[in-house]
Amino acid sequence: MKKYCLLLCLYGLPFFEVAAHNYRIPFAPLGEGAYEIKGKVDMFNSSGSYDHSGLEQELNDGESFSIIDSKLTLTYGYGESLQFIGAIGFRSVSAEYTVNSDTVTTSNSGLESYTLGVRYSWQQSQKLYYSIELLASQTPYTNTDYANLNEVPEDEIILGDSGNSFEVGLGASYLLDKDWMLNLRGAYRMPGNNLSPELDFMAESAFTWTSMSAALAIDGVYAIGSDEYTDNTDSKPVQGRAPSFMYNSINRTIISPRVQVGWAIGSWRVDLYGSQVVAGKSTDKGTRLGIQLVKMSAPKKNPNSKTKESFKEYSIEATVLKVSPKGRFVQIDQGVSQDIEKGMRFDFYETDFFGGNELIATGIVYETSLNRSIVKIIKKYAKKTIHKGFTARAQHSQ
């Protein structure tokens, strides 16, 4: 009787679209020997600025300011929790403005910065992950200070805030559901260019499906107000002529909502994102649009799991549709029509669209129908729970 109640429970529930954890948890450990390569390009178009008091200022007729940023980041997992980070950024800045009734169109481009960092991540519970990171950046250029705007060459604009910057950050990821997570990050940063220390923050709600992800977020910067020119803004040295408050600012504040969508293509992910500066001080308002390409490998080893060296030893791949309340039985989306037989052995993996692949458990086919099978779990290799969307692999008997 118990057997038939179980089968009725697993076969009789309504069928829902299979969803998987195809979006890597941002603040979870990367894993031993795993790497993530991230390349992105985005463009910011200024529509005006917020002055040192937060008052909006529109660009004058004939003025424009835009930035194209590109960045390549490599993160490598050393051990189960430690990651090393290296990044290099390039930037192109363009501006148009008027000097003595003459229109000046100018640009500046080149290597903007290089960054080294270290991150330590750990899993606090089944749903909660934490991460602490230290980052240090340096620019290969140095801005020139001028006493007033008249001393600045007519076509000179700066590439960014020059000098060294240091940052310590804390991140957390919380799994609200198998397809929904909340990511939070806060950081204390000491920027270059003699700017005030700042607090960076990010709050993101991410949703994941089989081959697609989406995120809604708020990104922000809040200066702690220790700029030496706080009470005498007119005395701050001038750097460049661009019609912008983006760089060489005074106690800047930035609030910028962001939306992002991503698609899985094998072990790659492509993201499109857009953000809008909606409030701030000593910064520019405007829109940023970008594209990001991510490649991630699986860990080389995991002491809590067993990983197959090659998928070639499997000839069957199925997807978990349902899991019994205690996790002892699971339903997969293949049955006798796919030559699934009672007693066949299945390995269950947690996979993602970056190529991540962790063996969670092994089971044997307990019952089968035309296009569905019930598998009884007989051994677990990790402390994780099997969820809908996990991958089940087996080999046809010879």
Which pLDDT score, from 0 to 100, does residue 397 have? Answer: 65
Fold classified for 35-296: Porin (2.40.160)
Q: Which residues contact 255 (CB under 8 A, 6 or more apart)?
A: 218, 220, 277, 278, 279, 280
Tens of pLDDT, residues 158-208: 999 999 999 999 999 998 887 889 999 999 999 999 999 999 999 999 998
Q: What is the mean pLDDT of residues 320-341?
A: 88
Q: Which residue has the tokens 């860990």?
A: 299
Residue bearing the bigger pLDDT, 94 or 9: 94
- Please state the length of the chain: 398
Tokens coding 220: 């922000």
Residue 249 pLDDT > 80 = yes
Confidence label for 338 from pLDDT (cuts 50, 70 and 90): confident
Contact 360, 346 (CB under 8 A): no
Which pLDDT score, from 0 to 100, does residue 16 have? Answer: 29
Q: Which of 74-83, 97-106, 301-310 has the lowest mean pLDDT?
A: 301-310
Q: What is the mean pLDDT of residues 125-148?
A: 94
Which pLDDT score, from 0 to 100, does residue 382 have? Answer: 81
Q: What is the mean pLDDT of residues 89-108?
A: 96
Which pLDDT score, from 0 to 100, does residue 30 have? Answer: 87
The verdict on pTM exceeding 0.75 is no
Q: What is the mean pLDDT of residues 124-149?
A: 94
Specify the 3-state DSSP secondary structure of 381. coil
Residue bearing the bigger pLDDT, 25 or 45: 45
Residue 356 pLDDT > 70 = no
Residue 355 pLDDT > 50 = no
Which pLDDT score, from 0 to 100, does residue 302 have? Answer: 46
Question: What whole-number distance in Å separates Cα of residue 254 and Cα of residue 233?
Answer: 19
Q: Which residues contact 61 (CB under 8 A, 6 or more apart)?
A: none
Residue bearing the bigger pLDDT, 340 or 287: 287
Q: Which of 49-58, 306-315, 388-397 has the lowest mean pLDDT?
A: 306-315
Task: Look at residues 17, 77, 75, 72 and name the one whose alpha carbon lies nearest to residue 322.
Answer: 17
Contact 128, 148 (CB under 8 A): no
Confidence label for 6 from pLDDT (cuts 50, 70 and 90): very low
Q: Helices (DSSP H) in the chain: which residue ranges?
A: 2-12
Which pLDDT score, from 0 to 100, does residue 20 have? Answer: 35
Q: What is the mean pLDDT of residues 354-371?
A: 81
Domain with CATH 2.40.10.340 in the chain: 2-18+302-394
In the chain, the amino acid numbered 51 is D
Tokens coding 43: 């463009």
Residue 4 pLDDT > 90 = no
Q: What is the average pLDDT value for the chain, to the nearest integer?
A: 88
Q: Is the C-alpha dihedral spanning 370, 374, 378, 383 positive or negative?
A: positive
Q: What is the mean pLDDT of residues 97-126?
A: 94
Which pLDDT score, from 0 to 100, does residue 310 have? Answer: 39
Tokens coding 306: 């067993």
Question: What whole-number distance in Å separates Cα of residue 307 and Cα of residue 345?
Answer: 16
Q: What is the mean pLDDT of residues 90-117?
A: 96
Which pLDDT score, from 0 to 100, does residue 23 have? Answer: 63
Q: What is the mean pLDDT of residues 290-295?
A: 96
Question: What whole-number distance in Å separates Cα of residue 126 and Cα of residue 32?
Answer: 20
Confidence label for 19 from pLDDT (cuts 50, 70 and 90): very low
In the chain, the amino acid numbered 357 is N
Best-predicted range by mean pLDDT among 169-173, 355-359, 385-389?
Answer: 169-173
Portion of the chain with pLDDT greater than 70, in percent: 88
Contact 359, 347 (CB under 8 A): yes
Domain with CATH 2.40.160.40 in the chain: 35-296
Q: Which residues contact 345 (CB under 8 A, 6 or more apart)?
A: 362, 363, 364, 365, 394, 395
Task: Look at residues 264, 260, 239 and name the one whose alpha carbon lies nearest to residue 249.
Answer: 239
> What are the angstrom distances between the C-alpha of 357 and each of 8, 113, 153, 161, 304?
31, 34, 57, 41, 13
Question: What whole-number distance in Å separates Cα of residue 268 and Cα of residue 213?
Answer: 13
Question: What whole-number distance in Å separates Cα of residue 46 and Cα of residue 350?
Answer: 43
Question: What whole-number distance in Å separates Cα of residue 346 and Cα of residue 396?
Answer: 10
Pick the CATH number of 2-18+302-394 from 3.50.40.10, 3.30.420.40, 2.40.10.340, 3.20.20.80: 2.40.10.340
Contact 136, 87 (CB under 8 A): no
Tokens coding 286: 């405007």
Best-predicted range by mean pLDDT among 55-59, 64-68, 262-266?
Answer: 64-68
